Amino acid sequence: MQKQPNENAAQFTTEGFKRRLGLTTTILLVIGTIIGSGIFMKPALMAKQLGSPLAQLSVWVLAGIISLTGALSNAEVAAMFPETGGQYVFFKKMYGNGFAFLYGWAAFTVINTGGVASLAYVSSLYTNYFIHLPNFSQTVEQSVMLHIPLVGDIHPLENAGVKVLTVLLVVFFTFVNYRSLRFGSLLQNVFTSLKIVAIALLIGGIFISGRGSLANILTPSPTMPHGFALLSGYVAALGAAFWGYEGWNFITYVAGEVKNPQKNIPKGLFVGVMVVIAIYCLVYLAYAYVMPVGQMAASQFVASDAASIAWGVVGGSLIALLIILSTTGTTHSNILTMARVTYAMAGESKWFAKAGRLQPVYKTPGNALWLNCCWTIVLIVSGSFDILTSMLVFVTWFFYGSSALGVIILRFKMKDVPRPYRVWGYPFVTFLFVGFTAFFLAVTLYTDISNYLAGKTTLVNSLLGALITCAGIPVYYFSRKKT
């Protein structure tokens, strides 16, 4: 028995969608899917790991450049196959249906839904700054406990008010994107524009305040690590920065809905990622201007503390509002894009078949949107997304590296297929990205195992992420469509 060839799969990736997203929307969508909570939540941890403001600044630049090389490599394939489904479609061309399904499974179970749950949760958590959301008593919260092997104990009733608001956000944005791609993209443009304006006010306000010193940016901590400890800390800081840049590939998920995709996708990726690199560097410099590295390392909410130093009590409120705006906008953009992968998976799996149906009136992947919504709600209520998101970077970068390697494979496998865009600096840029990805994954795995053996952690996050991904192998073989 043989599987259906690509003709059948095409109906799940190209038919029915309308190309409504222009270049401006494409750029804003790239920016909007990237800028979430990372730049506001990670600098304190990175300051502990490095102890040097300039080293941390170089991490944000390097992580951005590496992400850009990956984005440009993806852009070559996206221009070749501008179909809805993004990397899922690419992997089918590169490695076959099985590997593509494995990516779709990881995206559904961990990468996309866990990321949306985390972003929406942060948005709801900061809403508590202005509105006190109701919770159960501690006794009631602890009365219900679920034990998940290899994961740990979770308490579904903890932070009930925050979880309810998080669920409402996910349901609302799912409904918006179910009804209309046009309105969803318009809403995304508004969120991203407001986010950029708010960040510009934050950066300008801190520097204009005059309450900082350039010496803070130039002076390292006395406890700054050296030698292998510095290298290990640098790689760990890169992992944190990569979380800040997560989402640069999401525009490829809606490639089938972008106008003139052969030109607009590469331009959108390049301009969008470059803008984010500039924003992240300026935001970090603003933090470092008003906070010595030791103070930054001890800060629980570095963005709020930096704003408070510059503007007083009002600063904390403004930064909380900025984080709500940022994470809410990114939640919406991720919901808009991520369902397209689940939609594309339906072409290969009987279990996901209904997710491959377009909503007949609105021409949106309605079933895929609601399926992702339901699983995201499960993660929110259980609270397990906190654990899942800790392994997101390892899993996603495995697939990022596979995608870049696939560009090289397709240069030999599909020599005669037209390439409207060819990655700049090929093969150097692509080999550089693949090589760095292999190095990053190896060091991350080594560090995780070392921390586990030393008793610093109770879980090897990278191995658990690989295990969840590999669970998709039996799912694929039991559910795949045959003729």
Per residue in 350-392, pLDDT (tens digit) is: 888 888 888 788 788 889 999 999 999 988 887 766 666 667 7
Check residue 7 and give its pLDDT: 37
Spatial distance between the Cα atoms of 400 and 393, rounded to a whole number of angstroms: 10
3, 347 in Cβ contact below 8 A? Answer: no
Spatial distance between the Cα atoms of 392 and 53, rounded to a whole number of angstroms: 26
Spatial distance between the Cα atoms of 379 and 102, rounded to a whole number of angstroms: 20
Check residue 276 and give its pLDDT: 94
Check residue 1 and give its pLDDT: 38
Overall domain count for the chain: 1
pLDDT tens-digit series, residues 148-189: 665 556 777 788 888 999 999 999 999 988 887 677 777 777
Run of H or E including 383 = none
Q: Between 415 and 10, whose confidence is greater?
A: 415
With respect to residue 87, please indicate whether it lies within any of the assigned structural domains. Answer: yes
Radius of gyration of the chain (CA): 22
With respect to residue 432, please indicate whether it lies within any of the assigned structural domains. Answer: yes
Classify burial at 282, counting beta carbons within 10 Å of its beta carbon; exposed 0-12, middle 13-18, buried 19 or more: middle
Check residue 11 and give its pLDDT: 40
Count helices and strands in the chain by DSSP H and E runs: 23, 2
Q: Between 304 and 388, whose confidence is greater?
A: 304
Average pLDDT over the chain reads 82
Structure tokens at 165: 């608001």
With respect to residue 1, please indicate whether it lies within any of the assigned structural domains. Answer: no
Range of the domain at 102: 6-479
Amino acid at the residue 211: R
Q: Is residue 427 reached through a cis peptide bond, with omega within 30 degrees of 0 on the bond before it?
A: yes
With respect to residue 69, please indicate whether it lies within any of the assigned structural domains. Answer: yes
- DSSP strands (E only) in 107-259: 146-148, 152-154
Nearest-CA neighbor of 30 among 329, 475, 351, 298? 329
Which DSSP state fits 107? Answer: I
Spatial distance between the Cα atoms of 283 and 384, rounded to a whole number of angstroms: 30
Check residue 440 and give its pLDDT: 84
120, 166 in Cβ contact below 8 A? Answer: yes
Nearest-CA neighbor of 369 among 379, 386, 355? 355
pLDDT tens-digit series, residues 189-244: 787 788 788 888 888 888 888 888 888 888 888 878 887 778 878 888 888 888 88
Check residue 365 and give its pLDDT: 86
Check residue 14 and give its pLDDT: 44
CA distances from 251 to 119, 173, 187, 400, 477 (A): 18, 18, 16, 14, 29
CATH of the domain at 25: 1.20.1740.10
| Residue 173 CB neighbours (<10 A) | 25
DSSP-derived 3-state class of residue 135: coil
Confidence of residue 8 (pLDDT cuts 50, 70, 90): very low
337, 32 in Cβ contact below 8 A? Answer: no
Which DSSP state fits 254? Answer: B
With respect to residue 45, please indicate whether it lies within any of the assigned structural domains. Answer: yes
The model's pTM: 0.79
Percent of the chain with pLDDT over 90: 19
With respect to residue 475, please indicate whether it lies within any of the assigned structural domains. Answer: yes
With respect to residue 427, please indicate whether it lies within any of the assigned structural domains. Answer: yes
Query: What angle separates helix 366-382 from helix 313-345, to the nearest 10 degrees?
Result: 130
Which DSSP state fits 353? Answer: G
Check residue 16 and give its pLDDT: 53
